[in-house]
C-alpha cells in the first residue's frame, strides 16, 4: 500500500490497521519497495552461489599448484646449498690461484731447484756419482731452474702492467668536478682590469685586457749582460745603463701592473749618464 492510499483512510481505519498486525504484515509484504529489495537479494544470492561453485571447481587445480610450489621451493633450497658449496670452492680455488700466491710458489720452487742443483754439484765433486749421471741430472735441474726464474720474471711484469692499468682506469673514472675543485685558484690581480677601469674613470679603453690574457704590447727585452770586461784599447765610452722601467728590474720598481698593462707610477727615478752635459742658461 502506497503512501497515497494511507492518506485517504480515516483515523479510525488507521487505528484498525495498526491494531491488526496480520493485515499490516500483508500490506508491507505487498509494498513495491520490499519487492524490489527481495528481488535484489535473490540476484545477489544467485551470484554468490555461482561464484562459490566456480571456486570449488578450481580447488583441485589450486591443490596441484600448491604441491608444485612446494616442490619448486624444495628444489630452490637444494640449489642454494649447491651454490654456496661451489662458491666456497671457487673462493678457495681463486685464493690458491691468485697471481701473488702463484708468484710466491714459483719463487719457492725456483729456490728449491737451485738448492737441488747445488746438491748435485756437491755430490759430483765428492765423487759419489759418475760423470754421465751428473750431466744428465744437472742439465735437467738447471733447465728447470731457468724456466721457473723466467716464469717469475714474466709474472712480475704482468702484475706490474695490471696494476698500472687499474690505476689509469681509476684516474679516468674520476669526475671532472673533483679535478676542478683541486685546481689552483688564480692569484690576486696587481690592479683593476679593463672593466674596472671603465667603471672607475667612466671611459671605454681602446684595448681591453683581461687579467688572464697575454699583453698585446710587446715589452722590450733587456740586452744580454756580458761577463767579460771591454778591452783597454777600446775607445768607445762605457755607458752605464740605468735601471729604467724598460728593464725587468725597473718594471718591478718603477711600474705597477694594471691588469696586464704597465702603468707609470708618480715615483721619480734617476738616470745615470756617462758624461755630464753642459747646463744651458735658462730662457728669459
Query: Tell me: the pLDDT tens digits for 163-205?
Result: 888 888 888 887 654 545 555 555 544 444 444 444 444 445 4
Share of the chain above pLDDT 90, in %: 24
Q: What is the pLDDT of residue 256?
A: 46
Q: Is there a single domain that holds both residue 102 and residue 165?
A: yes
Dist. CA 103–CA 7, nearest whole Å: 112
> 32-36, 227-231, 275-279 — which is least confidently predicted?
227-231
Q: Is residue 268 part of a domain?
A: no
Q: Is residue 13 part of a domain?
A: yes
Q: Is residue 206 part of a domain?
A: no
Q: Is there a single domain that holds both residue 168 and residue 104?
A: yes
Which grid cell sits at 195? 672593466
Q: Is there a single domain that holds both residue 52 and residue 108?
A: no
Span 34-42, average pLDDT: 88
Sign of CA dihedral 270, 274, 276, 282: negative
Find, among 157, 149, 156, 137, the residue nearest to 111 by Cα. Answer: 149
pLDDT of residue 84 exceeding 90, the answer is yes
Instruction: Quote the mean pLDDT of the chain.
Output: 72
The total number of structural domains in the chain stands at: 3
Count Cβ atoms below 10 Å from residue 253 Cβ, excluding itself.
14
Q: Is there a single domain that holds both residue 103 and residue 152?
A: yes
Which residue range is the domain that position 129 belongs to?
A: 98-172
Q: Is there a single domain that holds both residue 125 and residue 164?
A: yes
Q: Is residue 113 part of a domain?
A: yes
Q: Is residue 116 part of a domain?
A: yes
Amino acid at each position: 500500500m502506497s503512501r497515497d492510499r494511507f492518506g485517504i483512510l480515516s483515523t479510525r481505519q488507521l487505528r484498525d490497521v495498526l491494531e491488526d498486525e496480520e493485515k499490516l504484515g500483508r500490506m508491507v509484504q505487498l509494498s513495491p519497495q520490499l519487492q524490489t529489495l527481495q528481488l535484489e537479494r535473490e540476484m545477489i544470492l544467485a551470484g554468490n552461489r555461482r561464484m562459490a561453485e566456480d571456486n570449488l571447481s578450481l580447488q583441485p587445480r589450486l591443490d596441484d599448484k600448491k604441491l608444485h610450489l612446494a616442490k619448486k621451493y624444495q628444489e630452490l633450497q637444494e640449489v642454494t646449498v649447491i651454490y654456496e658449496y661451489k662458491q666456497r670452492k671457487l673462493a678457495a680455488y681463486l685464493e690458491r690461484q691468485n697471481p701473488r700466491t702463484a708468484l710466491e710458489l714459483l719463487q719457492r720452487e725456483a729456490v728449491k731447484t737451485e738448492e737441488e742443483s747445488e746438491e748435485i754439484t756437491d755430490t759430483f765433486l765428492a765423487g759419489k756419482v759418475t760423470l754421465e749421471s751428473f750431466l744428465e741430472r744437472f742439465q735437467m735441474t738447471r733447465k728447470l731452474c731457468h724456466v721457473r726464474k723466467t716464469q717469475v720474471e714474466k709474472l712480475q711484469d704482468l702484475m706490474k702492467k695490471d696494476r698500472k692499468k687499474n690505476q689509469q682506469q681509476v684516474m679516468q673514472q674520476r669526475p671532472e668536478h673533483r679535478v676542478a675543485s683541486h685546481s689552483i685558484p688564480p692569484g690576486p690581480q696587481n690592479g683593476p682590469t679593463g672593466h674596472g677601469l671603465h667603471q672607475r674613470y667612466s671611459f671605454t679603453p681602446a684595448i681591453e685586457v683581461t687579467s688572464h690574457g697575454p699583453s698585446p704590447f710587446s715589452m722590450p727585452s733587456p740586452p744580454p749582460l756580458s761577463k767579460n770586461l771591454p778591452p783597454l784599447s777600446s775607445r768607445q765610452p762605457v755607458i752605464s745603463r740605468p735601471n729604467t722601467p724598460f728593464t725587468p728590474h725597473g718594471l718591478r720598481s718603477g711600474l705597477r701592473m694594471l691588469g696586464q698593462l704597465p702603468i707609470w707610477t708618480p715615483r721619480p727615478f734617476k738616470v745615470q749618464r756617462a758624461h755630464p752635459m753642459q747646463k744651458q742658461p735658462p730662457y728669459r
